[in-house]
Structure 1
């Protein structure tokens, strides 16, 4: 087939238009296709023999990175076939790494309580920066938001009557996330000291944009140090993991958890089923119809 340097961009445009792929996803796929071009030359016309060579060319990559690159290429070749630009599918020759998803890092209940207590103490004097950090922390652990979802929350997303946040997640998917009474109270405190005309709930300093994910990460690690928690164990995503795991430990339904987290696939949510095995045994013994030797 003829070389068409615009094909990768056409593929990315399709992902954005038809599948609602997020900007970060599109940027990752663009990098993956560029990495393939460095090895293959024209990616669109590469044959199976060329693709077989990617295993050795990318042997230094982590299994997860290799899996992502191969996934991007499979979807790209599928796009070419769907568009009638290629009759064969060479993606069967791609490496097939066995990427094992690691269990998420976790904070214990006691550590989360100490983390929040430290932020609460610092916010007691009403200093805006401290109240903001407490609000950020309450929403990360209390609602399970992703870092990007949290920092980019518009002011209009704050609940007025109903205790829910309107969140725009990955791929532009919208969902409603419950806000606890405690988090709602902290949000009210933040709004009372927030001095900005920005449309964002957590505006950046001296600009019309919002707080960045990098700054959120820094603020949490600084707070962790003050709370006597290893900063290396703390990130926005770790608090999201804590939200999910602690809810599941409390008996939350996996489907409900999927909805709260905004996961498109229940398989993503199932990583949180690594809860205490003893609790699961106790749950079966107490709730199953045959528990105690009789049908309830």
Structure 2
């Protein structure tokens, strides 16, 4: 088996067995293509399984050094090392190759970025007003598009969903308007969680569905212009168009509404474990990034309000 064939099998396993996100599979595929291309020059020919099994940490460090020299940033190199680690560990398990000694190898130090949240007023404005501004060149019915966008972005902010999680919902998943309900959300890796749904979210979704009489329970909850499931790029474009007309900051994106959900809950006194469950984070350390956002906002308030802050 060639290294290229092994790469293809690994990506297939990653998608089907690990149920990795499509973007992750594509990114890892590109990273492994870069790595195998480097090895072809580094080793003097296309590597096979024996060559992969004989790799040393020095070979991986050589690859990372080459990528740095080519202008790859710290985040890119850290992701590429993660892709290579996963590939080589899979080879050791699935193909019986000797494991490469990676335990003591450190990758580029990547400082997690602090999530950029909107202010509560900005987040509420997006959720309530995004449907009030339309692109005149858009083919969709304005009333249906407006109600859909309000429902979608109210859901993202009110429940802290990822955009992909919201767009994967079907009509049968919609919470009933007049009673308290929890939404069952399928997140990364197929992991499910229950998220309470605020009355404002239930009302926005119900108003949207009233413009879709007779919608089948199996239909996508959020439809695009051609009646198929709404494309994430269309939702992102809709918010981008609104934020520029409304004068909102450039980081006002669908994912920023999820960040805002977590940040505003933390500022309101919610504990990190609860926020972790609501967001569907596998690790508490991921959720802890929001403490930095809250601390930054607290410091800004102190500087603005304290008479001796200057």
The Cα shift of 1:206 comes to 1.6
Is the deviation greater in 96-105 or in 218-227? 218-227
Indicate if the aligned counterparts of 2:180 and 2:199 stay in contact, CA closer than 8 A.
Answer: no
- Number of residue pairs aligned between Structure 1 and Structure 2: 275
Residues 16-95 of structure 1 aligned to structure 2 (within 5 Å)? 16-41=15-40, 42=47, 44=49, 45-46=51-52, 47-48=55-56, 49-59=58-68, 60-83=71-94, 85-91=96-102
Query: 1:139 — aligned with what?
Result: 155
Cα-Cα RMSD: 2.6
Is the deviation greater in 112-121 or in 148-157? 112-121
Q: 1:233 aligns with which of 251, 262, 265?
A: 251
The Cα shift of 1:16 comes to 3.7
Is the deviation greater in 7-16 or in 23-32? 7-16
Query: Residue 167 of structure 1 aligns to a residue in which SS?
Result: strand
The Cα shift of 1:17 comes to 4.5
Query: 2: CA distance between counterparts of 1:252 and 1:86?
Result: 48
Residues 110-259 of structure 1 aligned to structure 2 (within 5 Å)? 110-119=121-130, 127-160=143-176, 163-194=181-212, 199-207=219-227, 209-230=228-249, 232-259=250-277
The Cα shift of 1:226 comes to 3.2
Q: TM-score, normalised by structure 1?
A: 0.83
Indicate if the aligned counterparts of 1:152 and 1:211 stay in contact, CA closer than 8 A.
Answer: no
Q: Which runs of 5+ in 1 are unaligned?
A: 281-296
- Gap change, CA 1:39 and 1:278, over 3 Å in 2: closer
Q: Which runs of 5+ in 2 are unaligned?
A: 41-46, 135-141, 300-310
Query: 2: CA distance between counterparts of 1:185 and 1:84?
Result: 54
Q: TM-score, normalised by structure 2?
A: 0.80
Query: 2:43 — aligned with what?
Result: none
Give deviations 1:186-245, integer Å, cap 9, x for gaps. Answer: 1110000126657100112224x3111111111111221233213x22111111101110
Is the deviation greater in 39-48 or in 85-94? 85-94
Give deviations 1:162-198, integer Å, cap 9, x for gaps. Answer: 5122211111111122110111011110000126657
Give deviations 1:72-110, integer Å, cap 9, x for gaps. Answer: 111111122223532241546866101111111221122
